[in-house]
A and B are shown apart, each in its own frame.
Chain A
């Protein structure tokens, strides 16, 4: 071999890589364009499903106080993010992994983390309008308080990213896209039942399961807001726990990204 120094002098300079935030922003913008073009109908279905649950339960649930009504609306609201993040994003990453499509991102001078965060943020963005609509319609339908409903926005931003990050981790970790789809849908179903049903009506074991779901703290934060008397400390605590789940899921998905690429094909 010739001298290493000699080799490096003749080597072309590597172009400056984009910063982490610039690459997150570019992935985010690219995904937003893609989702807007191709996934509009599914986002409509996500909202319609939650509004349907609110309408259905309005007819069958007897009013035993505002707590039950607030939980139903809060659970339905968070369900929009679960549908988009857990279900659609688990499917998306499962399919990208299976088809070797992650190579496109992995060959660029950006980290797996920026791909995961950019994609997660774009899916969360698409969940937010439907979630807010569900919260407003639900609050009107069940006669709940609008005074603190603005809290739905920060709650859904954090919950949207947390649930999408869990969806991304499912899609990247599971070895087959069908498994990722099933796992994403099961997780969404868990968010539906354990979010919409008031915890007081659950047996202790199921309540334990509810406590470990990443969506639970967002549901509780929204429930408190819809009842009209949220405590500042409680809201901060619930959002912090949801953000903690988001951080763990993002870290897990980012770690899984390179492993998902490093597979021989064809």
Chain B
């Protein structure tokens, strides 16, 4: 049976931009179903309303309109009940800056209802699992960005909640630590059926780890499906990236067509074209006099970023790491 962990309907929250300004919606009309036991992602650039949505899912922000149900029960903002089911990792945890890593994990486990003995065991296990043992006595604020993020992930995992809501859990992590986090999440999912909801603006990460993804733009969900199906929805297009050695000949008809249809970053042009169109353009570029001006090119199948752009999203700062 398909079971939803979260059911979100018509969610809206505004904030005031200034003292006399009109309320601006941080998000508006959000409808989502987040299946239990999966890894669900929220993808979008900065300012798309990802963190606002995530904070509503944890019951930190009271919606102006709409509802959030968690396993069938409505979430009331400010209720302690949500914290019994959900663990939340904020983008940053400044509350723990001056707390040693080991104490931060064990105190959090205690505050999630574990006994003192159990909390110490949990802290030791998590320090070993995420390879943080050497940092146990260091305050979080004294750690490097990546170490600090990893320690915050350990804090979120303390006390094994059935739902993990994580705001950019792998930002700033090196590949080894990133792998350790994904392994830790996969283990909990496999062994306990943990539901993971995470925010990311890393397109490649979203494609490789998410079961479902919601694309957010200016506070609205513009698409929600599996990464594979979303990419298939724009599969009639490919992305052609060109890097020019010097200014290309503008009298060439293919160059002028590409010039009109590309987004440009210096001498790097990116165009989204139909398969046949891209093939024809590339044939012409590499066989004619334009080849001298061309430094490099790539032809790629659509990524989630292409889906995002095809659906009208703004691509301000999404990462392709």
Task: Give the Cβ gap from B27 to chain A, nearest Cβ, in Å.
Answer: 9
Q: Does B3 contact A (CB under 8 A)?
A: yes
Residue of A nearest to B109 (CB): A26
Interface bits B70-100 vs A (CB < 8 Å: 1, else 0): 0111000110111111111011111110111
Residue of B nearest to A39 (CB): B98
Q: Does A63 contact B (CB under 8 A)?
A: no
- Residues of A contacting B80 with CB < 8 Å? 17, 109-111
Contact between chains at A262 and B62 (CB < 8 Å):
yes
Residue of B nearest to A3 (CB): B72
- Residues of B contacting A12 with CB < 8 Å? 71, 85, 162-163, 193
Contact between chains at B113 and A109 (CB < 8 Å):
yes
Residue of B nearest to A107 (CB): B88
Contact between chains at A262 and B100 (CB < 8 Å):
no
Task: Give the Cβ gap from B11 to chain A, nearest Cβ, in Å.
Answer: 13
- Residues of A contacting B113 with CB < 8 Å? 15-18, 109
- Residues of A contacting B38 with CB < 8 Å? none
Q: Does B143 contact A (CB under 8 A)?
A: no
- Residues of A contacting B72 with CB < 8 Å? 4, 7-8, 11
Contact between chains at B112 and A96 (CB < 8 Å):
no
Q: Please tell me which stretch of A27-35, A189-197, A208-216 contacts chain B, meaning at least 4 of its Cβ atoms lie within 8 angstroms of it.
A: A27-35
Task: Give the Cβ gap from A226 to chain B, nearest Cβ, in Å.
Answer: 36
Residue of B nearest to A14 (CB): B84
Q: Does B58 contact A (CB under 8 A)?
A: yes
- Residues of B contacting A15 with CB < 8 Å? 84-85, 112-113, 159, 161
Contact between chains at A23 and B90 (CB < 8 Å):
no
Residue of B nearest to A25 (CB): B110
Question: Which of A16, A30, A38 is the most central at the interface, judged by chain B CB atoms within 10 Å of its CB?
Answer: A30
Task: Give the Cβ gap from A17 to chain B, nearest Cβ, in Å.
Answer: 5
**What number of residue pairs across chains A and B have CB atoms under 8 A from each other?**
142
Q: Does A61 contact B (CB under 8 A)?
A: no
A109 to B87, CA, bound (A): 10
Q: Which B residues between 2 and 36 are near A, CB-CB below 8 angstroms?
A: 3-4, 7, 13-15, 26, 36
Q: Does B1 contact A (CB under 8 A)?
A: yes
Residue of A nearest to B49 (CB): A264
Q: Does B313 contact A (CB under 8 A)?
A: no
Task: Give the Cβ gap from B75 to chain A, nearest Cβ, in Å.
Answer: 12
Task: Give the Cβ gap from A86 to chain B, nearest Cβ, in Å.
Answer: 20
Q: Does A261 contact B (CB under 8 A)?
A: yes
Whether A10 touches B1, Cβ cut-off 8 Å, given contacts A26-B110, A96-B94, is yes
- Residues of B contacting A7 with CB < 8 Å? 3-4, 71-72
A263 to B52, CA, bound (A): 9
Q: Does B60 contact A (CB under 8 A)?
A: yes
Contact between chains at B107 and A26 (CB < 8 Å):
yes
Contact between chains at B86 and A37 (CB < 8 Å):
no
A38 to B97, CA, bound (A): 10
For this complex, 20 residue pairs linking A to B, each with C-beta atoms less than 8 Å apart, are A7-B3, A8-B72, A10-B1, A12-B71, A12-B193, A18-B110, A18-B113, A30-B104, A33-B103, A34-B99, A38-B98, A100-B92, A101-B94, A103-B88, A107-B82, A107-B87, A110-B111, A264-B61, A265-B52, A266-B51
Residues of B within 8 A of A (CB): 1, 3-4, 7, 13-15, 26, 36, 46-47, 51-52, 55, 58-62, 71-73, 77-78, 80-88, 90-96, 98-100, 103-104, 107-108, 110-113, 139, 159, 161-163, 193
For the complex with contacts A101-B93, A264-B61, 12 further pairs of A-B residues with Cβ separation under 8 Å are A7-B3, A10-B1, A15-B113, A26-B107, A37-B99, A103-B95, A107-B87, A107-B90, A262-B61, A264-B26, A264-B52, A266-B91
Closest 6 CB pairs of A and B: A7-B72, A11-B71, A14-B84, A109-B83, A12-B162, A107-B88
